[in-house]
Structure 1
Amino acid sequence: MKKIMMIFILGLCMACAEAQMSHTETAKAVVESFYTKDLPTLEKHTTKESFDSFMYIQESFPAEEKGSNFKVLQETENGNTAWVKFTTAYEEQPETFKLVKENGNWKVAEIGMGEKGPF
C-alpha cells in the first residue's frame, strides 16, 4: 500500500511540475497556438479577455505550419506580472506580451489603456 501511495504522490508531483511553464514558455505557446489555430492551447494560456481578443482577430490570419522561430529580445518579471518582448517568423516587427499569474500559471493578458510596458 505504501508503494502505491508513493507512486501516486510522485506522479502527482511530476504532473504539477510539468504544468508550470515560465512566462517566456507561455508567450511562445500563445504565439504558436494562435498561428496554428490550436484553440484549446490558446485558451489555456490566456486570460478570458485576451482569448476573446485573439479570437476576434484570428480569422484574418491563415493557419501557419512553419515554425515560429520564437526569440526573446527582452523579458522582465515583477511579482505576478511579467513582460516578454520577442520576434517570430510570423511578424516583421517585435511584439510584447504582458503576462499575469493566475492560479500559479502564467497567462497572456490584455495591456490596459494607457499602460506602457517596461521596454
Structure 2
Amino acid sequence: MKRILLMAVLVIFIACSGAEKSPTETAKIVVESFYEKDLPTLKEYTTEESYQAFMNIQDMFQAAEDENSNFNILQETENGDIAWVKFKTNYEENPETFKLIKENGSWKVTEIGMGEKAPF
C-alpha cells in the first residue's frame, strides 16, 4: 500500500512540474497568444514590462482568424539567462526578434533596451 501511495505521489509531482519551455517555444506561445488575444497566456510568458507594452499596442490588431501562425525560426542564440529568437510568422510581413530572459526558472519575453541589438 505504501508503495502504491508513493508511486501515485511521484506521478502527480512529475505531471504538475511540466517541462520547461525552450526560448523558441516561449516565443511561439507569445506570438500566438498576442494575435489570438489570449491574455492569461500572454501574461504568463512575458515579463511585466513586456506584457504592458503588448497591451498598449494590442488594440491596433484584430484577433487572428487563422490559427496557424506558420512560426518559422530564422535564428536563435542562448547565452546563460538571456536568449534571442528571430522568427517569421503569417501575422507580419517582416521578421521579428524577441529577447528572452530566464525568470524564476522559466523563459519570458522581455523588452529590448534602448540601443541594444540582437547578436545576429
In the TM superposition, residue 3 of structure 1 has moved relative to its aligned partner by 1.4
**SS of structure 1 residue aligned to 2:18:** helix
In the TM superposition, residue 74 of structure 1 has moved relative to its aligned partner by 0.3
* 1:42 correspondence with 2:53: no
- Return the alpha-carbon distance in structure 2 between the equivalents of residues 109 and 6 of structure 1: 39
Aligned position for 2:101: 100
Runs of 4+ aligned structure 1 residues displaced above 4 Å come to none
1:10-64, Cα deviation, whole Å (9 max, x unpaired) = 221232133x111100000000000000000000000000000000000000000
**SS of structure 2 residue aligned to 1:56:** helix
Aligned position for 1:118: 119
Query: What value does the CA root-mean-square deviation take over the aligned residues?
Result: 1.0
Identity fraction in percent: 60
Q: How many residues of Structure 1 are paired with residues of Structure 2 in the alignment?
A: 118
* 1:109 correspondence with 2:110: yes
* 1:17 correspondence with 2:18: yes
For structure 2, the 5+ residue unaligned runs are none
* 1:85 correspondence with 2:86: yes
Amino acid at match of 1:72: I
Amino acid at match of 1:93: N
- Return the alpha-carbon distance in structure 1 between the equivalents of residues 39 and 70 of structure 2: 20
Give the TM-score normalised by the residue count of structure 1.
0.95
1:65-86, Cα deviation, whole Å (9 max, x unpaired) = 2110000000000000000000
**SS of structure 2 residue aligned to 1:112:** coil
**SS of structure 1 residue aligned to 2:74:** strand
- Return the alpha-carbon distance in structure 1 between the equivalents of residues 42 and 65 of structure 2: 16
Give the TM-score normalised by the residue count of structure 2.
0.94
- Return the alpha-carbon distance in structure 1 between the equivalents of residues 64 and 15 of structure 2: 32
